[in-house]
Amino acid sequence: MLLFVGLGNPGAQYAGNRHNIGFMAVEEIARTHRFAPFRARFQGRVAEGTIGAERVLLLTPATYMNESGRAVGEAARFYKIPLSDIVVLHDELDLEPGKCRVKVGGGVAGHNGLRSITAHVGNDYKRVRLGIGHPGDKARVHSYVLSDFARAERGWVETLCGAVARNADCLARGQDASFQNKVHLAMEAAGFGAPKKAGDA
């Protein structure tokens, strides 16, 4: 079984926050692949289903971002899921809005959700980094991530989450480069990516 974790904060007041794009993406995966309804378990909400040929447990921690690792650790221990089968979807300040990058391990770049997960289960899990852009001033980061996406941003947010969900079978099979490329092409096709100029590498 694979464990796909979406990061965010629980509660209606946080639902539209930039920090919650991980929740949004996982919930779209559940809809697209017709998972069983979410239910309370492992200090969070879980839904079970299949993506392609793989059994997958979706998890959105209810512990608030800074304690995400408690829920992830509990689910991973119960199902004996190794780090290599854990995929964490989260907001990424260091990527332009709508960009998506996949990496395994590495630093947590000040992300408290990742820091908590690393503390509880180790560092070598897969991260799906969903770009939300940077406010430009470190002092504004906290209020920026905890503010809602603007109305003008909702188009790319929905397109990105939809592209992640439709191509989640690549993630489940470990085809990270293919997943990343398909999401990029979907964003570009929808008008949310700058097409390369002739002569660009």
Could you list the active site residues?
A: 19
Q: Say how many Å lie between the first and final Cα of the chain, rounded.
A: 39
Q: Distance between CA 155 and CA 143 in Å, rounded?
A: 22
User: Does residue 41 sit in helix, strand or coil?
Assistant: strand
Asked if 26 contacts 6 with a C-beta cutoff of 8 angstroms, the reply is yes
Phi and psi torsions of 159, nearest 5°:
-65, -45
Strand order, beta sheet including 39-41: 39-41, 44-51, 54-61, 2-6, 86-92, 126-131, 100-104
User: Does residue 146 sit in helix, strand or coil?
Assistant: coil
